[in-house]
Chain A
Amino acid sequence: MIDVDDRHRLGQADWIVGGEAARAARKQGVYAGYVLALFAAIYGFPLVQALFQTTDRSWLRDQLASPVGVAALVASSCTLLAAAVWAGRFRGPVAPPLPWIDLVVTTPIDRALTVRRWWRFALAGAVFVGAVVGLVLGSGLAFAQVTGVLAIAGGTLTGMLLGLAAVRLWLWGQVRSWPGSSRGWAVLWRLPDALRALHAESLRAHSANTSTLAGSALTGNLRTARLAFARPVRRARAARLRPGRPFGVLVRRDLLGLRRQPATLAAGAGLAALGGSVLIWGLTQPAAPPVALGLGMFPLYLGFGAWAEGLRLQSDNIGTPSLIGVAAVPEALAHLVIPAGLATGLLGAAAAVAVATGGTGTAGVAVAAVLTVVLLSGGHLLAAFRGSPPPTSGPQGMVLWYIRPGTIVVLLGATMTYFLRAGQVGGVVVTVLATALVLAWGLARVRRLTHLHRN
């Protein structure tokens, strides 16, 4: 038996492999925290203020104290925690660089020590983000006089606790991403055991996923990122694509795809239901703040996107010899049928519930639902066929390139539904024309991008 000091050996490895890298990484972490705090102060707090100030205070106070309000808060928190477990399957909180994994993690040094630094980064980050979000929401409520000043401390503390719970569950998700005996609930409480349960191959996969994601973000290669995180499909193998006319078979393809990926179907339904409910609530309840219209558009946009895989796959095929015997635009329109149909159904259901429970403005809601589906279709054509990022755009240009389709949908959708709610005919006409323009722009992008590769 040889007695060795793991901490001493780790310190030596740290110096040889990383040099000053650890200190530099800590500085970067502190800087990121500073930027986040700055953004929260400049943008987050005023936005939350605007949201609460434009809402009927007494109504909001009643809602927050009602069983439905409490249930909604608990459900949101549970969704966040479930998302943390889910994310841990692909990219956990512990993702050291590959050389560190190969040269240090694989040595006999205690793994709880060799990976601890990355865990601490993630822990500090999650608790800090939770605290900032809690502080912004709590102070927003307090300054809008919806609650007392105690909400500031309560919000901050709750945010920190949620951050702590989320990061623990995130780690648990990472531990469970590799088969093994120590994967039960118990490792949630025994942190060193959880870190020791991380397999070197799993750490490599998570680290590689981080590099893939970062590389895809930098180069604008969204397909690579999508495929890195997509689960292999193995369901409904015996189901067959029914042959038929060209347009119909493309629609059935998308339907079969969703049948074989029920998680994608459910994720889309959840997001679209959430967004649709908020949007319809904003349209039919006079007490709802106008900002709810924009807030509803965002999850609706994401939900529609979850159902539009066929559209993205069509765009992925640009530049390859043609296999499908249908022109680009009809093919894109065929791939919009399923997401547009599902979104219409969900918005219709939400509108029916709103009307049944005493909401107002039935005709406006129907028009808003139809226009929203058209806008979502145009937005997703722009998103799927966004092409490559501008070559000399820089980080800001890259971010704008990513968020442009979603931003157009959220801003135009919010404006259009606001005019509908307010009954301003002139505004409605202008936004309807703008919505038609977005759809036409999306179809033009399909045509342009399909043939652009040749030059």
Chain B
Amino acid sequence: MSRTAELTGEVRAVGVSKSIDTTTLLRPVDVAADPGQCVVLRGPNGSGKTTLLRIIGGLLEPTTGTASVGGRPADERDPAIRACVAALIGTPTTYRDLTLIDHLVLVDSTWGHDPATSDERGQALLGSLGIGDLDDRFPHELSSGQEQLFRLALTLTRPSSVLLLDEPEQRLDTTKRQVVAGLLRKQVDQGATLVMACHDPDLTAALAPSIVDLAPAR
């Protein structure tokens, strides 16, 4: 049995930037978010929103500056960071031979949750996103919007105190965006720290966040 430190959700990025050779992906920026807070990253395409989220999630080393989660350096190799941060950045690889509910049960079980109620939790989460009736579908049988909702369900089914989301509104219609806004609001109200890149003014307004505007990178 290994023991993992339980981190609180303070997110700090101080002067972080990313460059590869002579190409700048992200200009130096600061981000601060505490538990129960939502920060939205805004900026034109190519300004480095996804790069910043990857740095905060510990998936990428910044060229300058430091990023931390719960007071520890943001490094995905640290089991405590992995246990603390749930992220939807890019497309998670799904099992083509598992249905949606199987995926949620798998993720839920691997985090050591009560097996007796795993099915109900998965079903409830799918239902809250409006895709409860698709529980026995395989991922390749979903529309692009349904797929996005399923990815959100996958991200939300695992425990976390920090949520990093890269444009969670993409491919969703207006109604579903409101559903997602409600669900994310609930997560923040329950004490999660939410940092997300977002282009939707309504979703941004619904979460009443702090906003970090990123300057275009070159």
Quick check: is B33 within 8 A (CB to CB) of the other chain?
no
Known contacts A250-B110, A323-B92; A237/B136 CB under 8 A: yes
Interface string of B99-118 (1 = CB under 8 A from A): 10110011111111001101
Binds A, one of B55-63, B64-72, B193-201: B55-63
A233 CA to B110 CA in the complex, in Å? 24
Quick check: is B169 within 8 A (CB to CB) of the other chain?
no
Q: Within 8 Å CB of A260, what residues of B?
A: 97
| Secondary structure type dominating chain A contacts | loop
Quick check: is A453 within 8 A (CB to CB) of the other chain?
yes
Q: Within 8 Å CB of B91, what residues of A?
A: 320
A325 CA to B160 CA in the complex, in Å? 11
Binds A, one of B38-46, B81-89, B125-133, B204-212: B81-89
Quick check: is A397 within 8 A (CB to CB) of the other chain?
no
How many residue pairs link A and B with beta carbons under 8 A? The number is 117
Q: Within 8 Å CB of B158, what residues of A?
A: 323, 325
- A450: nearest chain-B partner, CB-CB: B77
> Could you list 15 examples of A-B contacts with CB < 8 Å?
A232-B141, A240-B102, A241-B98, A241-B101, A241-B106, A242-B115, A243-B118, A243-B119, A245-B112, A261-B97, A310-B95, A321-B86, A322-B82, A323-B158, A454-B59
Since A237-B99, A256-B102, A454-B77 are in contact, a sample of 13 more A-B pairs with Cβ atoms closer than 8 Å, ordered by chain A residue number, is A232-B96, A233-B140, A241-B101, A245-B115, A249-B106, A249-B109, A313-B95, A321-B57, A321-B86, A322-B76, A322-B82, A327-B2, A454-B58
Known contacts A322-B76, A453-B59, A454-B76; A317/B93 CB under 8 A: yes
Q: Within 8 Å CB of B95, what residues of A?
A: 253, 257, 310, 313
Contact B107–A325 (Cβ < 8 Å): yes
A312 to chain B, nearest CB (A): 10
Quick check: is A193 within 8 A (CB to CB) of the other chain?
no
Quick check: is A326 within 8 A (CB to CB) of the other chain?
yes
- A320: nearest chain-B partner, CB-CB: B92
Quick check: is A179 within 8 A (CB to CB) of the other chain?
no
- A318: nearest chain-B partner, CB-CB: B93
Q: Contacting B61 at CB < 8 Å: which of A249, A257, A325, A454? A: A454
A241 CA to B96 CA in the complex, in Å? 14
Q: How many residues of B contact A (CB 8 A)?
A: 49
B120 to chain A, nearest CB (A): 10
Q: Contacting A243 at CB < 8 Å: which of B89, B92, B108, B137? A: B108
Quick check: is B90 within 8 A (CB to CB) of the other chain?
yes
B72 to chain A, nearest CB (A): 15
Quick check: is A110 within 8 A (CB to CB) of the other chain?
no
Spell out B's residues near A (CB within 8 Å): 2, 57-61, 75-77, 79, 82-83, 85-93, 95-99, 101-102, 105-112, 115-116, 118-119, 136-138, 140-141, 154-155, 158, 164
Closest 4 CB pairs of A and B: A321-B87, A325-B111, A243-B118, A243-B115
Q: How many residues of A contact B (CB 8 A)?
A: 39
Residues 227 to 247 of chain A near chain B (Cβ within 8 Å): 227, 230, 232-234, 237-238, 240-246
A94 to chain B, nearest CB (A): 27
Q: Within 8 Å CB of B116, what residues of A?
A: 243
Contact A327–B79 (Cβ < 8 Å): yes
A227 CA to B101 CA in the complex, in Å? 22
- Max chain A C-beta neighbours (<10 A), residue from B61, B85, B107: B107
Contact B60–A454 (Cβ < 8 Å): yes
A314 to chain B, nearest CB (A): 9
Contact A246–B115 (Cβ < 8 Å): no
Contact A234–B97 (Cβ < 8 Å): no
Quick check: is A316 within 8 A (CB to CB) of the other chain?
yes
- A226: nearest chain-B partner, CB-CB: B96
Contact A325–B138 (Cβ < 8 Å): no
Quick check: is A396 within 8 A (CB to CB) of the other chain?
no
Contact A240–B106 (Cβ < 8 Å): no
A255 to chain B, nearest CB (A): 11
A56 CA to B79 CA in the complex, in Å? 59
Contact A240–B105 (Cβ < 8 Å): yes
- A248: nearest chain-B partner, CB-CB: B109
Contact B110–A326 (Cβ < 8 Å): yes
A187 to chain B, nearest CB (A): 31
Contact B96–A230 (Cβ < 8 Å): yes
- A334: nearest chain-B partner, CB-CB: B110
Residues 91 to 124 of chain A near chain B (Cβ within 8 Å): none
Quick check: is A27 within 8 A (CB to CB) of the other chain?
no
A227 CA to B94 CA in the complex, in Å? 12
Quick check: is A433 within 8 A (CB to CB) of the other chain?
no
A242 CA to B105 CA in the complex, in Å? 8
A225 to chain B, nearest CB (A): 14
B100 to chain A, nearest CB (A): 11
A327 CA to B97 CA in the complex, in Å? 22
A141 to chain B, nearest CB (A): 44
A245 CA to B112 CA in the complex, in Å? 7
Known contacts A244-B115, A454-B60; A324/B93 CB under 8 A: no
Quick check: is A455 within 8 A (CB to CB) of the other chain?
yes
Q: Contacting B97 at CB < 8 Å: which of A257, A325, A453? A: A257
Contact A245–B109 (Cβ < 8 Å): yes
- B138: nearest chain-A partner, CB-CB: A233
Residues 194 to 232 of chain A near chain B (Cβ within 8 Å): 227, 230, 232
Quick check: is A309 within 8 A (CB to CB) of the other chain?
yes
A202 CA to B163 CA in the complex, in Å? 44
Q: Within 8 Å CB of A319, what residues of B?
A: 59
Quick check: is A451 within 8 A (CB to CB) of the other chain?
yes
Q: Within 8 Å CB of B89, what residues of A?
A: 320-321
Q: Contacting B90 at CB < 8 Å: which of A227, A309, A316, A320? A: A320
Q: Within 8 Å CB of B88, what residues of A?
A: 321
A319 CA to B91 CA in the complex, in Å? 11
B110 to chain A, nearest CB (A): 4
- A313: nearest chain-B partner, CB-CB: B95
A6 CA to B83 CA in the complex, in Å? 68
